[in-house]
Amino acid sequence: MRFVLLILTALAAQSQNVVSLSPGGNGAGLMPLLKVRFSAPVDPEAMRSRVSIRWGASAQTVGFTTYPVGYVMPINEVAWDPATNTMYAKPDEQLDHDRDFELVVSGPGETTLATSRFHTRNVTSTLLVRELGPAASIRRVVPRVFDLAEVKAITSLNQTSANPAAALSAQPFPVDPTFVTGLGLRRLVFMRYTSPRGDSVDVHAWIPTAPKPVGGYPVTLVGHGFGDSRLYGPSFIATSVIANSVVMAIDAVGHGYGPGSQVRFDMLDGTSVNVPLSGRGRDADGDGRIDPGEGCILISPGNPEFSNSCFRETVLDYRKLVREIQWGIDLDGDGTNDLDANRIRYIGQSYGAMYGTILVAVEGGIEAAVLNVGGGSSLEVFRRGATTSAQLQGFVAVSAPELAGVPDPLIGRWQPVVRLSNPRTGAYLEFIDSIATIAADANPASFAPFLKQATLYGNPIKRVLFQYAVGDQTVANVTTGQLLRAAFEYELVSVYRHDLARAEAPGLPENPHTFLAAFGTFDQPQALIIGLAALTQAGQFLSSGKREVPDVNVLVRLAFKQNLFEVPSSYN
């Protein structure tokens, strides 16, 4: 949604003549592109204090709000197009959903030169109106509970071809079974339940070796990152919390390769057992292959979805799993419920932290969470990530060919005004804004206020730890900052100083994005130490019941001669 103010004479001339104002209307995103057009050049730096957003009444009825009526918010991320005398900007902070606002341009003496009223989208209605369906639908895929003490090797057999008759691709399990059993993990069970859509979703559960406590085991749900699957990153993450918690994970929509995927257990007695994994990926681009994560991000002409449906449906599937846990699940077949429905937690990494933000914000049954390297919106992650921007450019080339190849100005917060030189940049920013508006009801930042500052009615304030790494090249720190500001979270934040770590251990990967999983380099001692520290911090936070960041620097200080985990004093 764009708000265009056409002012007849430049403010430098102190004229208050206004030709016309476009109506703001309904359906704006929560970080809308503000567009002010003048009839003559102005000093855009001076305009920072002249353009503001006045907050009006809220129409939503499902939760609390953030700022009061009458609050005046400044603008930020300012760009100037001299060819059209147009200023582009964003609100300094995210706006509330389903609320009235007024864009105001002031002149000398605080006189009002022009205003434009608008109303933001309701972001909860899409999710909250969906029926989850009855519980008690969960059942085992195979009757066996696998004891890892009896397992020699585990191999994923992934359907990477769109042809279901093609051979499956073998991929070794990321962690040796003996390593896992040494950390208190022994048993693994595969189950399936009915989704809110009526189809089936596969889930597996790691069961601790420790005796079941009275009331059942606590539950930790684990959300994997983009291109990963429920069996890989979540299995490594499980080792941090498995001592006292059952760990459960599903494939996000579009992940886990094709529906014909399997996992093979080679047993110590010489037998092998294959279990269906029923991946949720599909050949979305028609090239005959099912690549990691294919089917989550949708890129096709005229399709503005991007990753919106992936996020929404994955959230709904996890909400349904929470209902199954609350109903009661017998994991080991002894006829009794094994899970404590009052202690359900969540850990999400990268994309898992993003759809996890939405999940934890709306799901009252989840008491606490750790969100690792998440961003405020998938669109901004792909805009600003060094490893992801090419995918966004591909989306632009398909969806708006006339804007293909336009350099993204990537305007920073509180940075000098960016002066646009490419005549197509303004149109590019407006296109990006149109996609962001559509995605408002699937953006993590849209839901982040519901965690603490503006909870949904009936939901408690959530205990959430945010973890991120300095210099993340996949989810840039600025996009994590967007999420943190939207969550109004300035205390429960842990930053891993990869810059300090690499100064001591140059062999560490340049991109710290996967530090929670030891960068995937399980044979590198320094990487394992960092991953262990991050996982320990996550596990301690979830089990502690406290609203404080656990200090795990004792685990890294000996190897790196300094602390690597800090609570930041500020972030943009």
Would you say residue 263 lies in a domain?
A: no
pLDDT digits (tens, 9 = 90+) for 340-369: 999 999 999 999 999 999 999 999 999 999
How many angstroms separate the CA atoms of 407 and 424, rounded?
9
Whether 560 maps to a domain, the answer reads: no
Q: Is residue 287 part of a domain?
A: no
> Which pLDDT belongs to residue 556?
97
Structural domain including 39 reads: 1-122+388-436
Tell me the C-alpha distance between 323 and 340, whole Å. 12
Q: Is 214 a member of any domain?
A: no
Q: Is residue 427 part of a domain?
A: yes
Q: How confident is the model at residue 516 (pLDDT cuts 50, 70, 90)?
A: very high
Tell whether the model's pLDDT for residue 302 goes beyond 70: no
Tell me how far CA of residue 290 lies from CA of 163, 295, 351, in angstroms.
10, 8, 19
> Does residue 530 belong to any structural domain of this protein?
no
Query: If pLDDT is split at 50, 70 and 90, which confidence band does 463 have?
Result: very high
Average pLDDT of the chain is: 90
In a domain, residue 431? The reply is yes
Residue 213's CB is within 10 A of a number of other CB atoms, namely: 12
Contact between 499 and 569 (Cβ < 8 Å)? no
Residue-wise pLDDT for 89-121, tens only, equals 999 999 999 999 999 998 877 888 888 999 999
Contact status, residue 57 vs residue 69, Cβ threshold 8 Å? yes
Return the amino acid letter for 154: I
Q: Is residue 419 part of a domain?
A: yes
Of 205 and 303, the structure prediction assigns the larger pLDDT to 205
Number of domains in the chain: 1
Residues 504, 304: Cα–Cα separation, whole Å: 45
Mean pLDDT of 503-513: 96
Strand-strand pairing, 72-81 and 86-91: antiparallel
Sign of the CA dihedral with 414 first, then 415, 419, and 423 last: negative
- Asked whether 279 and 256 are in contact (CB, 8 A), the reply is yes
- Strand, coil or helix: 538: helix
Confidence band of 258 (pLDDT split at 50, 70, 90): very high
| Residue 300 pLDDT | 61
**pLDDT, mean of residues 233-258:** 86
**Burial (Cβ within 10 Å: 0-12, 13-18, ≥19) of residue 387:** middle
Say which residue the tokens 């990530």 belong to: 385
pTM metric for this prediction: 0.94
Kindly give the pairing relationship between strand 339-349 and strand 368-372: parallel
Tokens matching residue 47:
């305009």
Q: What is the CATH number of the domain that holds 405?
A: 2.60.40.1220
Angle between helices 308-327 and 351-362 (to 10 degrees): 50
